[in-house]
Every structure is written in structure tokens, then in C-alpha cells.
Amino acid sequence: MLEAASLTKTYVTAQGPWRAVDDVSFRIEAGEFFTLLGPSGCGKTTTLRSIAGLETPDEGRIAIGGQAVFDARAGVNLPANRRDLGMVFQSYAVWPHMSVLRNVAFPLEVHGASRREAAEGARRALDLVGLGHLAERSATLLSGGQQQRVALARAIVRPVRLLLFDEPLSNLDAELRIQMRVELRDLQRRLSATSVYVTHDQEEAMALSDRIAVMRAGRIVEVGTPDQLYLRPRHPFTARFIGQAELVPADLLRRDGGGALLRTRLGDIACEWAGDVAPGPASLLVRPEHIELHPPGTDGPNTAHGRVLSVAFLGKLADHEVDVAGLRMRVQTMSTARRAPGTEVTLRFPPERCVALAPE
Amino acid sequence: MIRPTGPVPRRLFLAGAAALAAAPARAQNAAMEDLARAAARESGPCVWYESSPQEQTDRVIAAFNRRYPNVRVQHVRLVGGVDIAARMVQEARTPGQSADIASVSADQIWNLNRRNLLAQVEWQRLGASAQQAPVPFTVNIAAAAYVIVYNTAMVTGDAVPRGWDDLLNPRWQGRTGTWLISHPFAQLTKAWDEARATAFTERYARLNPMLFRSTFTLAQQIAAGELPIGLGLWHASQPVIARGAPVALVPLEPTVTTSIWTAVARNAPNPNSARLFVAWLLTPEGARAYEDATQRGSALVQGTRTAEMLAGKTVVEYGPEETEVFSRNLARFNEVLKAGGREAG
Amino acid sequence: MMRRLALLPLGLLLAYLAVVPLILLGLASLKPEGFLDDEGWTFDNWRAVYLGPQLWPMLGNTLVFALGSTAAALLLGTLLAWLVERTDLPGRGLVRVMIILPLATPPLLLAIAWVLLLSPRTGFFNFALMGALGLDRAPFDIFSMGGMVFVETMVLLPSVYLMLAPAFRNMDPNLEHAAFVSGASVWTVVTRIVLPLLRPAILAAAVFMLIVCLVVFDVPGTIGMPVRIFVVSSLVYIWAAESPTGLPLYGRIAALAVLFVVVLLALALVYQLLSLQGQRFATISGKGYRPRPMPLGRWRWAAFAGVWTYFFLATIAPLAVLLVTSLLPFQTRITWEVLDRLTLDHHLAFLGNPRLLTAVRNTAIIALVSASLVALLSLLVSWAVVRSRAPGRRIIDLLAFLPLGIPGVMIGVGLITVYLTFTWIPIYGTIWILVVAYVTTFLAYGTRTTNGVLVQLHRDIEEAASVAGAGYWTVLRRIVLPLALPAVIAVWVWVFAHAARELSTALMLHGRHNTVISTLMWNFWSGGDGPRAAAVGVWLMLALFLLVGLWQLLVRRQERA
């Protein structure tokens, strides 16, 4: 549905040229919810705005539904208003001089709908986002969450080829954000709208996306489903950016099918997933919540001896800081299974949860 | 075109006049010397409100200082007589701030005197003639004379105007111009009867003349060729003529003028300097200096170019004491000019 | 509490600047001859103005002139502001300079330049077109209502641009982008999103320009009056400068000025009603964005060509004709032959003038001080008006705006009276009385511009700073000023240029110690030396050109950083 190939965008700044987007390529299937995830300044918003036609990349090609909307070499650059898109902006960009209804009806009107048809369409869209009762209100008299919904309704009021979201939830409070997240996902499924979503919030990305592209410094680090990126990332950056990660320097001794045997300060650890890491320097990824705590003296493969330094009680969960062979590791358990500080423990790293990565 | 009249009779006349004036002249000289000594003791500078550009008045003051080096005069240039009169009225409330001398037209000086703002001076004791100083509150230092101004490249042969009636030639329909204010026409009521002056003004207005804020602009437009002809002022046409523009002037019979009446303020901070300077402007030396600088000279002082130009002409102008009649005519004729081809209301 | 305390001195200062001339206006209108020292009281002036035959026939012309010029200047000025500030029009830095350049030219000279270009018999364009197209009649006649509207439009345009440009620049571009992505064409984006969003700024400019058109005289006096097109301001001129009684009819002017003030109040009220929803239009949200020009696509070069055609006609041609005229021995039709007679005499005469140094110094001080004071006061007034909830804020806004409706001559009369009375403020006849006059009149412009920008500023931005512990003045200095800086600088440049070129007030208040460049120019002009006056104009333009160029360099450096 969407294909971006070799997008590059360089800005001239006082400190010299700066590559905001550096050779970015990806494909998105129809109906897919695709997220560009990364820290601020990673080029995700520039990429999104390039798809929208609000930025012009220096190089590359963008095709929507097989039609090239941008092609630097062929000199194709369809303006934003002819790309048939819906977009939700971080600042909502709700027009303050119009009512809620007129805001939402606008895309229909500019596509030739009569005022009445546009109003009807807008009401349907407002009902979808649960704002039907506020249609006549002035757009400035809305709360942030309501403005968010107006912006959303405006984006989906027409059946568009592509929905674009530029950090739409980042200005909402935590509770509202989670609620909107669910609604947004729901709506996207119902409309089966192909969507590109930009965020720096990994939880949001995980909850919403079919696939996520992790970006750093203008480049895509890796693309995958939330499961893949969480459980079997290929890059230490992904591992650290998505979820909590314990990364231990290691030496890959030998490959073993899809897995590998790693030598670390914790001892030799078997991993069931090693991607394409070759023998030599590597690192071991294990998530704190996957590490098991056992009574001291429990033996077996993938175990190590340690002592609890401190515990934080989080309600359902407990966070332990454990000293293992001079390394400080975080271990998360159910709070019912928490250990007191000073307790000697044996840690077990389940091989199916251990991942070998390239060295950091 | 203006050509000097023959030089010989003028010189004879001057010699005779000088001989006749010899005895009073000594007394007058003594009075001026006394005044000069008193003036030199004043803190000064003596401030003179006059509407000529400062480049011109600088030269007048320089000539004065060659005669009286110890008396300081500062010219402050205000836009026009109305402005000067207004400023004199306002400054009267704060004596220290008041100017010493004002040079304006007859109607303005009349208003200032009516408001008791002018010093009453025995000008004749300081050498003024009766014509120069018909009343104690003011003297006539120079006059601006109305003339026909035309472009010599556009107006040739038979078309060259000779007098008032040539201004009304239908060939100038829409192609003539004059001052926005009907000063020359209103003055004509003094030479002709009121009906004739009114008829003349109305016929001229029907030509749809262009009306300029300044007769300098009129002369420029004629020099540029925008208009072939107009009724303007002698001195306002001199700058373009001096620069070689194809412009010539035709004096009129009768000639209407706007005199520059000069007075000393009643509260003048430097009354002696003021009297001395004004009295000096009335002398042949002062009058010539003023004329050389501003192109406006006194017809009442022999030896000025203005006196030469106006020799043999009937010169008409309402004096200060006739201001009420003049103002009435002026207001009426202004409306006639403004109405143009349409009938005046 | 701090805010209210800060409002008080501001209100007092404005009251002093605006109310004093207003009271004097009222008093003068009731005095027989308009002077405060006149004996007795009378309604004669009111009767003469409103029941007399002169005023009402001029209203038709006045309306056509004011509405026509305002509409044309707004249309073109808004278009230019949008093209320069919001699109990828090529060469925008230079375009900015070109728009602003005519600001340095006194309107009198600009009107004269247009007479030189378009007068029916000697106008350069007319002549060129007649030759090129084989016409036997001049295609244009500047001496007409059309000519007046045209030239006044050219005079107003830089001001319209400067008033609107900051508002355009500060608008959150996502508001446009959202419409653009929705499928709206550029035209739809402009008409349905951009213009309605900028309605407060555009309305403010419209109100301002209408009042200016009501009061200005340079253009109607130079272009309309010669062919008997009189507007209401012509009456003011005739009564003030050429009164048939010998004394100015200040009483009548004062009575007439009350009409201006009433119109101004009515328009200001309409404006306040129409933009009551000030908060609604907060478009600078503080959410980070990088302004990105809207691509004009294939219109880009068409717009470029259009803009430069306009500049050639509106800026380059009149400025060039002034330059050539300044080199001519006397004002004349410009042909190839006269080019042989070019002379530097006028420039040398101006540069060699013994009063030049004093005049330049006086002008520089007056322009600098007036511009800085107006910029500062405008910011303070706007901040108080837009932000504070104190009861008097709308009145403060009106006070800052009112002097615009008082003809310059009456402001002059008022100031003369005030400072001849309060002699313990010894500024009569000095440059400081001019500074007071300029601050009074130009504050209206300044506050219209800064109001427009501060209305856009979201309250959160300031409140965030307050919460962070910043006091009133810190918020102003560290938050409001930097965000409003483009507008404040625009105000500064506008006032500087106007104070440097202002003629009628300078002449009205001319005294012993305050010769300025524009009065020097007037010396030449009224002494019959049009070309020499043009030479002064050329130097004024050169000075402003440098100033504006410097400003634009700074803007560009700031944008890059």
C-alpha cells in the first residue's frame, strides 16, 4: 500500500549539514498499522511529513497504492492536497475559527460534498469518536482530549488511502492516553485503514502497531512485529529502547541451530535465539521479568549465584537489584515472591528467553 | 518678458531723492546708532518668524551683520503666514518664549494687532517712509507680485499673453493653473469693481484651471510642460528660470501683489534688536539684500528690481486695515475657484 | 496584583499623551477662533462645520478614497505578506526589502514621483506608452480619483505588510498543513483557513488604514486638489494653512476632528466586537515546529514574476524617477535629451548645507528615541490589553489608538499649548516636543501590530513562565519580548522611518532648536527646488535601505541559528 525507498533529507544548519533522514526504506501492507518509533530527533516525523507531502526529501521515492507520489529522480512530487490522506497532528491543529462540525466537515467540503452531505458525514465521524454531542461547539472550548478526537474525526471523515499520525497522544495525560490508545486501535481495525504512526513512546507503539520501525539518527535500525522486537530483537538499541533490558557483555562460543552458547561473567549461557550473530564478541539480552529467582544452591544450566542488594515494592510486581559476580542486575518478580535484601539467591536465565546480540 | 526700463531716469531720481533726504537722514542715522548700541546689550538672539527658506534668510542676516556685527538675529522658518500668526497668538501666553519679529501678510498682521500682540513703533523716526509704515504697528518690507507665467516652448507667436484678458482665452481650457487660494482675484476687486472682478474670476474658473498648493509647484509644472500657462508669482518662478527652464513672465496691469508686512512683537524679548533689524530691512541696503535673497522686493524702495518692474504699473492690494473686506472676498472667490466649471454655489 | 500596579502608570502616561490633546480639541472647538485665550464660548464652529455647505459634499469623495485605498492596500499587502512569509517564493529576503523601501519616502515625494510618471502631458509612463503603442492620448491621468487611490495604496502598502507579516510568521503552520493534507487547494487553504485565522490582525490593519485615509493630506493635496477633488482632510488643510481670515480656523478644525474621533471610536468598537474571541485565535501554541514554507508548485515562478512586476511599477519606477529628477537642473519631462544635462548640484547643495549635520543628528535622535519608546510602550500596552483582566484595559487600548484620529495639526496645536503653559517642562521648540508628538501619533500603529501578535500568543506560554517562578517583568523580558520580537522590530523600523520622514508635524512644531532633515527638504521644496527636495528624498531612502538591509541580515542570521 505504501512504499518508501531510500528517502534522504538533509537540512542546512548553522553547525553544517544535518541528515534528518538517511536512506530510509520500508513497505506497508493494506490495512496495516505501521509505527515509526524512536527518540526525538531520530527523523521519524520528517519521514512522516515526507509521506504527507509536507516535506520534500532530497532523494528517494514514495508510492501510495502503487502510484508514485514522490520520486526525486523522475521529478514527481504530488502536493499534499492530492495525495488523498488523513492526518492527525501533535498540536491537533484544530482550526480555532470553526465549530467542531465545520472542522470535521472540511475535508468533505473541499472534496466537493455539499454542505449538507459534509455535515452528515462529519456527524457520523464525530459519533465514531464519541463527540457527536459537541458538534456545534466552538473548537476552542474543548479539552485537549476532545480536540484530539476532533482531529481524529477530521482525519477519518473520508475514506482515505492512508492515515498519518504525528505523536497524536503525546499531549494527553496518562489515563486518557491509554484510553485513546485503545479507541484508536479499535477504530483503525474497524475502518481497516492503512496507518502510519509516529511516536517516541514504546508502550504506545507496542499496543497499537502491527509492525514497528525503530529509528535512530535518521536511519531505521530494525523493523518487526511488537513480539519480534520485544522477544527477539536484532539490535542492542532496539533491546534497550523497547522494554527493560539487561545486557551483559559476552563471547559467542558456538552457534547451535538458531541459538548459541555464550560465555559471560555469569558463566556459560545457552540462548535459543541468536539471529545472525557470528562467533566472537557479542552480548546477552535478558529481560528483568524473565529472570527467575531460586533458593541458593539450585543447580543447573543457565544459572548463577547472587545476593539481593535492594528491593522496590511496586504493588503487583517487585524490582530487585541483585549483585551477580560483581554485576548489578535487575530482576522483576511477582511481589508475592519477593526476597529481602541480603538474601542469597540463584538466578536462572531461561534459554528460550535469552537472546544473543551483536556487542554494544 | 520683463526687461529693465531705461537706467538713466532712475539714477537721476535717486540722486534727487538722496539730496532731499539728507537732513532727516542724519537724525535717522543717529537714532539707528542709539538703537544698535541698545540692541548689542540684549541677550538675543532676536528671533524672526518668516516663511522663506533658511538658505535665503541666511544671506539677509549676513548682510545685516555686516552692518551691525554685534546684533544677533535668528530666523525660524514656519510654513506660512497663517502658521506664524497662530504661533504668535499662542506664544503670547508665555512672554519669554515669544518671537521678536513676524513677517506675514496684511490680513494676518491685522489679526495680530487686533489681539494687541504688536509693538507700536514710530517707524518714521527710524527712517521709514509713510508708505512703508502707514500704521504704527507694522511696516511693508517687500511684495510678491502676480504675473502670467508661460512655457516659451509651448506658447509662441500670437498666443503669447499680454494682459489679464489673455488668461481667459478658451485655448487654455483645462491647460492653465493657479494658486488654490484666490488671493490675486480677491485683490482685483480693489482695482476693478466687484462685479467685474467676480465675472473675471468666474470665467477663469470655467477654464477648469489646475489649483496648486504652491505657486512654486505651478512654475515647475509649467517648466516641465504639463501646463503651458498660469497665473503665478514672480519670485516663485525665478528658481526654474535661473536653471534654464523655458519659462517667461508677463507683468500685469493692474498688478496685484501680496505685501510682506513685518512687525515687532509687543512682548519681544529683544525689542531693540527687533526694531533695528526691521528698520534696516526698510533701508535701500536691507531691501536689496532681502530682494536678492528671496526674490521679493519692495516697490517702495527705489533701486530694487521690484520697483523697476512695477514702475508705471498700477499696483493694487488691500492694506491691513481693509482686512475684513478682503477676507470676505477671498472666502467667496475661493469657492468660485473650487467650483471650477460648475456654477459656484 | 503586580499586573494591576503596572497598569496604573501605563494608563496615566497614555492618558497624558492622548487625553490632553483630546481635551484641548474639545475646548478649542468651543472658542470663537480656536485659541484657548479667546474670550467667551461659542457653538459657531460646530455650526459652521456641520451645518455649513463645505463638509457634506466632500463626504462622497472621502469615502471612495478611504475605502478604495484601504481595500486595495489590504488586498495587495495581505497577498504579499502571505507570499513572503508563508510560501517558497524565491528571493524573499530581497522582496522584504523592496516592500519596505518606499517607507522612507515622504508621501509628498512619492505623490510627486507618481505625478512625474503618470501626469497626462509629461508623465514618463504615459509618454513611453504613447510612443510604444502609437496612442494619441495619454492612457493614464494621475490627476483623478483613481490616481489618488492608486498612490495612497502604494503609500499604505508597506505599513499593511509590516502589520501583517508578524502575524503570518507566527501562525502555527500545522493549521495550514492540516487543511492541505485534507485535500484543500492552496486557494481554499488561504481563504478558509489562513485569512479567517488572521482576522484580528487584518481587521486591525483595516481600521488603522481607514482612519489614516481619513486624516492624510499629502496625496489628496498633491493629486486630487489640483483637479478639484476635495476630501475632508483638504478642509483641514485649507482651514489651517490658507484660512481666508488670516488666522487658522483651529476652532473649526477641532470641531471637524471630533468627527474623525467618533468614526475612529465606532470602528474601534466594531473591531473589538468582531474580535472579542481573542483567545480563540491563539495560534502560537508553544508546541515546537519548524516553519516550513508552503510550496507554490508551478505557481512559484508566476508569483515571482508577478511580485517583481509589481515592484518594478510600485517601487523601482517611482524611486528611479525621484533619483533622475534629483539629477535634473529643474523638474521636467524625462527624455533622452535631458540626460545630457544631469547635474550633481542638488546633492552637493544638500550635502554642503550648513544645517545638515545638526539636522541629521536631530533626526537620528528623534527617530531612535521615538522608535524605541513606541516599540516599548506598544509591547506594554498590548500585553496589558491582551493579557490582563484589569477593568481599564479596553480603555487603555482606546487611549493608545485615539490620537490617530486627531489631525496632526491639532496634535501640534495641543502640544504647543501644553508646553507653553507648563514651561517647567522645557521642551517647547526642541527636538523633544517632536518626540512627544511622534510617540503620541505612532503609538496607534505600534499597538495595532503588537496586539495582533500577542493575541496569537497562547496564555500557557506565559503562565508556564510564571509558574516557573518568573515575575511580571521577567516574563515580559524573557518570554513575551522574544516571541513578539519580530513584531516589535517591525514597529521599531516603521516608526523610525516615519519619524525620519514626517513633515507636517515637524513643520508645525518647528522652533529654534529642532531642524530635522524633512524640514530641510521642505526648505528646498517650498523654495521652488523640486529636484533638490528629491535629492534629500534619495538620501533618506538610502539611509533606510541600509537600515532595512541590516535588519533583514539580522533576521536571516536569527532564522539560521
Q: Do B195 and B250 share a structural domain? A: yes
Closest residue in B to C54 (Cα–Cα): B335
Closest residue in A to C558 (Cα–Cα): A14
For residues A305 and A324, what is the distance between their CA atoms, to the nearest angstrom?
A: 6
Mean pLDDT confidence for B247-256: 94
Closest residue in B to C504 (Cα–Cα): B79
In chain C, DSSP finds a helix count (H) and a strand count (E) of 28, 0
Provide the domain count of chain B.
Answer: 2
Neighboring chain C residues of A90 at a CB cutoff of 8 Å: 174, 287
The CA distance from B17 to the nearest CA of chain C, in Å, is 35
Query: Least CB-CB distance to C241: which of B79, B220, B345?
Result: B79
- Mean pLDDT check: name the lowest of B37-41, B293-297, C204-208, C331-335: C331-335
Q: Do B79 and B167 share a structural domain? A: no
Task: Give domain status of residue B1, yes or no.
Answer: no
For residues C307 and C89, what is the distance between their CA atoms, to the nearest angstrom?
A: 9
Interface probe for C, chosen from B217, B321, B326, B332 (most Cβ of C below 10 Å), is B217
- Identify the CA nearest to B333 among candidates B196, B182, B167, B180: B182
Name the band, by pLDDT with cuts 50, 70 and 90, for residue B15: very low
Higher pLDDT, A257 or B343: A257
Q: Do B293 and B328 share a structural domain? A: no
**Phi, psi angles (nearest 5°) of residue B9:** -60, -35
**Cβ(B29)–Cβ(B21) below 8 Å:** no
Interface probe for A, chosen from C182, C194, C284, C458 (most Cβ of A below 10 Å), is C182
The DSSP annotation for A90-157 comes to: TT----TTSBHHHHHHHHHHHTT--HHHHHHHHHHHHHHTT-GGGTTSBGGGS-HHHHHHHHHHHHHS
Joined grid coordinates for residue A245: 533490558
- DSSP label at residue A343: -
CATH classification of the domain holding B225: 3.40.190.10
Q: Do C523 and B77 touch (CB under 8 A)?
A: yes
For residues B307 and B143, what is the distance between their CA atoms, to the nearest angstrom?
A: 10
Spatial neighbors of C369 by CB under 8 A, at least 6 apart, are C435
Higher pLDDT, A286 or B12: A286
Higher pLDDT, B22 or C533: C533
Given a cut of 60, is residue B16 above it in pLDDT? no
**Cβ(B229)–Cβ(B175) below 8 Å:** yes
Domain covering A2-231 in this structure, CATH number: 3.40.50.300
Neighboring chain C residues of A96 at a CB cutoff of 8 Å: 197, 280-283
Q: Do B172 and B74 share a structural domain? A: no
Q: Do B125 and B148 share a structural domain? A: no
The CA distance from A105 to the nearest CA of chain C, in Å, is 10
Q: Do A140 and C175 touch (CB under 8 A)?
A: no
Spatial neighbors of B243 by CB under 8 A, at least 6 apart, are C329, C330
Q: Do chains C and B touch (3 or more CB pairs under 8 A)?
A: yes
For residues A240 and A101, what is the distance between their CA atoms, to the nearest angstrom?
A: 43
Q: For chain C, what is the radius of gyration of the CA atoms?
A: 24
Q: Where in chain A do CATH 3.40.50.300 domains reside?
A: 2-231
Q: Could you read off the pLDDT tens digit of each residue along chain C, which spans 561 residues?
A: 445 556 678 788 888 888 888 888 888 899 888 888 888 899 988 998 899 888 888 889 999 999 999 999 999 999 898 888 888 888 887 888 888 878 878 888 888 889 888 988 888 888 888 888 888 888 888 899 999 999 999 999 988 988 888 778 777 788 888 888 888 888 888 888 888 888 878 888 898 899 889 888 889 988 988 888 889 888 888 888 888 888 888 888 889 888 888 888 888 888 777 765 544 455 555 444 455 677 777 778 888 898 888 888 878 888 888 898 888 888 777 777 777 888 888 888 888 888 888 889 999 999 999 999 999 999 888 888 877 666 777 788 888 888 888 888 778 888 888 888 787 888 888 899 999 999 998 998 898 888 877 777 766 666 666 666 666 677 777 777 877 887 888 899 889 988 988 887 888 888 778 888 888 887 777 766 778 888 888 888 788 778 878 877 777 776 665
Q: Do B217 and B329 share a structural domain? A: yes
The DSSP annotation for B221-243 comes to: HHHHTS-SEEEEEHHHHHHHHHT
Spatial neighbors of A286 by CB under 8 A, at least 6 apart, are A245, A246, A248, A349, A353, A354, A355
Give me the pLDDT at residue A123, please: 93
Joined grid coordinates for residue A179: 484510553
Task: Give domain status of residue B332, yes or no.
Answer: yes
For residues C328 and B342, what is the distance between their CA atoms, to the nearest angstrom?
A: 38
Q: Do B213 and B328 share a structural domain? A: yes
- Provide the terminal-to-terminal Cα distance of chain C, rounded to the nearest Å: 38
**Cβ(A21)–Cβ(A27) below 8 Å:** no
Query: Least CB-CB distance to C53: which of B213, B224, B345?
Result: B345
For residues A222 and C250, what is the distance between their CA atoms, to the nearest angstrom?
A: 82
Mean pLDDT confidence for B141-148: 94
Query: Least CB-CB distance to C182: which of A53, A96, A110?
Result: A110
Interface probe for B, chosen from C114, C219, C420, C519 (most Cβ of B below 10 Å), is C420
The CA distance from B331 to the nearest CA of chain C, in Å, is 6
Give me the pLDDT at residue B5, please: 38
Q: Do B133 and B176 share a structural domain? A: no
Joined grid coordinates for residue C158: 508597506
Give me the pLDDT at residue B81, please: 86
Give me the pLDDT at residue A192, please: 87
Q: Do B75 and B23 share a structural domain? A: yes
Given a cut of 50, is residue B345 above it in pLDDT? no
Spatial neighbors of B65 by CB under 8 A, at least 6 apart, are B71, B73
Q: Do B225 and C121 touch (CB under 8 A)?
A: yes
Mean pLDDT confidence for B327-337: 91
Q: Do B150 and B133 share a structural domain? A: no
Query: Least CB-CB distance to C241: which of B52, B82, B96?
Result: B82
Neighboring chain C residues of A79 at a CB cutoff of 8 Å: 180, 295, 297
**Cβ(B68)–Cβ(B45) below 8 Å:** no
Q: Is C221 on the interface with B (CB under 8 A)?
A: yes
The CA distance from A72 to the nearest CA of chain C, in Å, is 15
Task: Give domain status of residue B3, yes or no.
Answer: no
Q: Do B170 and B221 share a structural domain? A: yes
Could you tell me how far CA B318 lies from the centroid of its own chain? 12
Strand order across the beta sheet in which A246-256 lies = A267-271, A259-264, A246-256, A280-286, A355-357
- H helix runs in A195-283, sequence order: 202-208, 226-231, 236-241
Q: Do B86 and C250 touch (CB under 8 A)?
A: yes
The architecture that CATH gives domain C2-285+305-560 is Orthogonal Bundle (1.10)
Name the band, by pLDDT with cuts 50, 70 and 90, for residue B344: very low
ipTM attached to this prediction: 0.82
Q: Where in the sequence is the domain holding B78, given as residue range(s)?
A: 17-141+259-300
The architecture that CATH gives domain A245-357 is Beta Barrel (2.40)
Q: Do chains A and C touch (3 or more CB pairs under 8 A)?
A: yes
Please report, for chain C, the start and end positions of each structural domain, with discontinuous segments joined by +: 2-285+305-560
Amino acid at B163: G
Neighboring chain C residues of A86 at a CB cutoff of 8 Å: 181-182
- Identify the CA nearest to A302 among candidates A233, A250, A228, A360: A250
From residue C392, give the alpha-carbon distance in Å to each of A44, C5, C10, C384, C395: 49, 12, 11, 9, 5
Give me the pLDDT at residue A174, please: 81
The CA distance from B163 to the nearest CA of chain C, in Å, is 24
**Cβ(B307)–Cβ(B315) below 8 Å:** no
Handedness of CA C465, C466, C470, C474 (dihedral sign): positive
What are the tens digits of pLDDT across the range B103-139? Answer: 999 999 999 999 999 999 999 989 899 999 999 999 9
Give me the pLDDT at residue A57, please: 92
Q: Do B53 and C527 touch (CB under 8 A)?
A: yes
- Identify the CA nearest to C200 among candidates C119, C262, C281, C256: C281
Q: Do B270 and B211 share a structural domain? A: no
From residue C99, give the alpha-carbon distance in Å to each of C313, C548, C555: 12, 10, 16
Mark the ranges of chain A whose per-residue pLDDT is less than 70.
none
